[in-house]
Chains A and B, each alone.
Chain A
Amino acid sequence: MAGTENSQKSFGWAATDTSGLLFPFHFSRRENGSDDVTIKILYCGVCHSDLHSVKNEWGFTNYPIVPGHEIVGLVTKTGSDVKKFKVGDRVGVGVIVGSCKTCDICQQDLENYCPKVIFTYNSKDQDGTKTYGGYSDIIVVDQRFVLRIPDNLSSGACAPLLCAGITVYSPMKYYGMTEPGKHLGVAGLGGLGHVAVKFGKAFGLKVTVISTSPKKESEAINRLGADSFLVSSDPAQLKAAMGTMDFIIDTIAAVHPLAPLLGLLKMNGKLVTVGLPDKPLELPIFPLVLGRKLVGGSDIGGMKETQEMLDFCGKHNIIADIEMIRIDYINTAFERLAKSDVRYRFVIDVANTLASN
């Protein structure tokens, strides 16, 4: 039974069916092991993946599900082999809480690509129990999967970096989008997109936001610092921008046409997709062949790179733009998120609003 499988009592909000509605939920966490850190959760970001998962849109949800993988909190216990952290440290936990740690992939600090990767929620942990995420009061995590938060970054606004941040930072490095002066297109201006704009500017790139909503233009340019804005449903604007971008980060989580985006790329340009639509996309081949263009994917990042990303944010003062909410607002927040009605990430004030009955 969920509540009693482990020994530390825990409390959170969970969804129990495909309606995706969350309710208070009692469960348990494992005892703090020698490599573990127990964290009192202060804040948890609301990722669009949380919404996909609670409604089982990807087909692999195991109910009940406690989502949340953008966690910031304070260390309350450390295991005997834990040297990196001490009680009272401010730490973060992102999308993964375990991997095999020994394969070639893990040895290259790419735990996120390990075949035995364990996700922060809805995954099977090493002891066979289910993992529960950050919409809860505490979490117990192997130290390898815990991150230091730079002192100058505020906890709430930093939480979304743990998924949204690394999800765009990693491909920007891997696909070479860090050369100052190059032109980056960011398709979709939500949780991922707005952070990609900030990273793009920090890398010295020219950044164009590509969006279907003209309303986002002022904010994109004046607040986020984008250099220009393209309404992708306007054929004239698309045509004028054809062949002008070195890279595009495509953060759009729904099915959408790739052909216009491929047209925006210069020769040898790269389109990296990080949004997860629930159906395949149509890929026209001629533009890839004639322009030696490529479409690549990327999936969060390894622990070393996630720490590097956080330190980069500390150095450049980059945080997410958030709307702080109470835990009992979460169902409304999900409805708004489905309509992209948030600038640009909800963050749950767990410590102040999550109370056990």
Chain B
Amino acid sequence: MAKSPETEHPLKAFGWASRDTSGFFSPFKFSRRATGEHDVQFKVLYCGVCHSDLHMAKNEWGFSQYPLVPGHEIVGEVTEVGSKVEKFKVGDKVGVGCLVGSCRQCDQCTNDLENYCDKQILTYSAPYTDGTITYGGYSNLMVADEHFVIRWPENLPLDIGAPLLCAGITTYSPLRYYGLDKPGLNVGIVGLGGLGHVAVKFAKAFGTKVTVISTSINKKKEAIEQLGADSFLVSRDPEEMKAAAGTLDGIIDTVSASHPLLPLISLLKPHGKIVVVGAPEKPLELPVFPIIIGRKVIGGSAIGGIKETQEMIDFAAKHNILPDVEIIPIDYINTAMDRLLKSDVKYRFVIDIAKSLKPE
């Protein structure tokens, strides 16, 4: 007889799950596996609310498994370690991001690019190696293979820092890979949400000159005064866009809705690069002439490998790079998702799991 979420593993756990495409969250009892020899078990203290959690809760990408417990910006404190675990001990502060498994043998994995492994296992709603479905950080307890656990630096706040585990690595990795981390370069950031605001902070920390590109003039003051952007472009203003043509070495495009690429391509200098990290569902129009005439590049990027995620967390701790968050109790999550849909948050919700998540 099929086991239920509550009985499939030996350790009782509880969280909040979405049970259907309405995306509505409610309390949910389930279970976690026993701590294997390479596993780290930790009690969850905080979990960031990523826009992906909303897409997945509603099955917008078509592969959600219900009941779905999202959350892949998870910070906690170690409660047990497996017999072969060397990197962590009880009491350590740790984080887990978007991945909890990969094949560990392919070219990608052996190059610390687990995020590009064909057999990667997502932190939630994915089949694990034991055949059960993974549950994420909107829960009290996590068990993860030590390879996928991040050491949390002492001076990095646990609550505010949580969103770095997805938003942070998603913007840090392409700034590095596409060479947009050199002092003096002009970097544009499109979209000022969870990803965009962290991208601005990393780009400034790399010594680049940052231009925020947004549809809304309302965000200008905040972008410049709070986030430290050097300038701000309203993408719907043709005059402003024309004046800025050919000035940017690169652009990180965090916008996940469909939008035209040509105006962004025009902002690039020759040999400039646009990196897409938001993922519109439908194809975008690619005008070929401007790409060829200016030897320009459009590339993508998806989170980052574990080694780079650790590097990013350590970098953030060293340079005091912290997301801007709104801390919420778990029972606010449905309202938070409604607000997230309207981009009504500066700039990431973080659930205070330790204080607000109680068993029924």
A contact set with B: CB distance below 8 Å: 58, 105, 110, 113, 171, 174, 258-259, 267-268, 273-277, 280-299
Contacts and interface: CB of A to CB of B under 8 A. Distances in A.
Nearest to B113: A267
A298 B295 contact: yes
Given A268-B116, A281-B286, A297-B288, A289 B293 contact: no
Given A281-B286, A283-B285, A289-B276, A274 B292 contact: yes
Interface string B240-265: 00000000000000000000010000
Interface string B280-308: 11011111111111111111111000000
15 contacts: A58-B289, A105-B270, A113-B270, A258-B286, A268-B116, A273-B291, A280-B285, A283-B284, A287-B300, A289-B279, A291-B116, A292-B299, A295-B291, A295-B297, A296-B291
| Top-10 shortest CB links A-B | A288-B300, A294-B299, A297-B291, A289-B300, A297-B292, A283-B286, A296-B297, A267-B116, A282-B283, A284-B283
A283 B283 contact: yes
B113 A277 contact: no
Contacts of A259: 283
Contacts, number: 106
A113 B295 CA distance: 8
B177 interface: yes
Contacts of A58: 289
Contacts of B273: 294
Contact of B301 (A113, A174, A274, A289): A289
A264 to B, nearest CB: 15
A277 B298 contact: no
Contacts of B299: 288, 292-296
A299 B239 CA distance: 28
Contact of B288 (A113, A276, A291): A276
Contacts of A290: 300, 302
Nearest to A174: B295
B108 interface: yes
A314 to B, nearest CB: 26
B293 to A, nearest CB: 5
Interface in B106-157: 108, 113, 116
A285 B288 contact: no
B297 A294 contact: yes
Nearest to A117: B293
B277 interface: yes
Interface of B: 108, 113, 116, 177, 261, 270-271, 273, 276-277, 279-281, 283-302
- Which one of A285, A286, A288, A290 has the highest number of Cβ atoms from chain B below 10 Å of its Cβ? A285
A299 B288 contact: no
A283 B300 contact: no
A288 B295 CA distance: 18
Contacts of A291: 116, 300, 302
A297 B276 contact: no
Given A267-B116, A288-B300, A290-B302, A295 B286 contact: yes
Contacts of B280: 285
Nearest to A175: B297
Contacts of A299: 292-295
Nearest to B277: A289
A135 to B, nearest CB: 24
Contact of B293 (A171, A258, A296, A297): A297
A157 B339 CA distance: 66
Given A282-B286, A283-B261, A283-B285, A298 B300 contact: no
Given A273-B292, A298-B295, A292 B116 contact: yes
Contact of A280 (B287, B295, B296): B287
A289 B283 CA distance: 12
Given A105-B270, A295-B286, A297-B291, A283 B113 contact: no
A292 B298 contact: no
Contacts of B293: 297, 299
A296 B277 contact: no
A237 B301 CA distance: 28
A184 B108 CA distance: 19
Contacts of B177: 292
Given A267-B113, A283-B261, A283-B286, A288 B292 contact: no
Contacts of B296: 296-297
Contacts of B279: 285-286, 289
A110 B271 CA distance: 11
